[in-house]
């Protein structure tokens, strides 16, 4: 088994798509963490070719403005080459991906 690996997905400063991050070195089983307080939506996109991206996780505030900062996680099973964050929200958050490295590291 590979080592536990955490990858930060940069969140764009304004609404739109963030930069593409290589996640090809980790297994298909991923846990995506979003931490912070926001109003709106964040979509985590994945790709196998760095050209066509599909939503692999969605985080929505559903209009709830009373909650404080929180951490939300979503487990996904997807063999991906890259990931990025799509922001449609009023405040920035932190997004990271936890998985196992593919290499037989020890």
- pLDDT per residue over 25-82, tens digit each? 999 999 999 999 888 899 999 999 999 999 999 998 876 655 556 788 999 999 999 9
Select the more confidently predicted residue: 89 or 61.
89
Q: Which domain holds residue 38?
A: 4-100
**Residue 105: inside a domain, yes or no?**
no
pLDDT of residue 24 exceeding 70, the answer is: yes
pTM for this entry: 0.90
**Residue 93: inside a domain, yes or no?**
yes
**Residue 94: inside a domain, yes or no?**
yes
**Residue 65: inside a domain, yes or no?**
yes
**Number of domains comprising the chain:** 1
Helix (H) or strand (E) holding 88: strand 82-89
**Residue 69: inside a domain, yes or no?**
yes
Predicted local distance difference test score (pLDDT) of residue 66: 56
Residue 15: CATH number of its domain: 2.60.120.260
- Distance CA(21)–CA(9), nearest Å, equals 7
pLDDT mean over 91-99 = 94
Following CA atoms 55, 58, 12, 22 in sequence, which dihedral angle do they give, to the nearest 10 degrees?
A: -50
**Residue 57: inside a domain, yes or no?**
yes
Q: Do residues 41 and 60 make contact, with C-beta atoms less than 8 angstroms apart?
A: yes
Predicted local distance difference test score (pLDDT) of residue 19: 98
Select the more confidently predicted residue: 8 or 36.
8
What the block records as the tokens of 79 is: 């063999």
């Amino acid at each position: 088994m590979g080592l536990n690996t955490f990858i930060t997905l940069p969140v764009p400063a304004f609404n739109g798509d963030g930069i593409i991050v290589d996640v090809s070195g980790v297994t298909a089983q991923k846990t995506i963490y979003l931490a912070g307080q926001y109003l709106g939506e964040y979509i985590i996109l994945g790709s196998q070719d760095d050209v066509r991206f599909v939503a692999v996780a969605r985080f929505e505030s559903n209009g709830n403005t009373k909650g404080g900062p929180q951490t939300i996680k979503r487990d996904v099973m997807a063999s991906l080459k890259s990931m990025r964050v799509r922001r449609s929200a009023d405040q920035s958050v932190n997004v990271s991906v936890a998985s196992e490295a593919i290499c037989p590291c020890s």
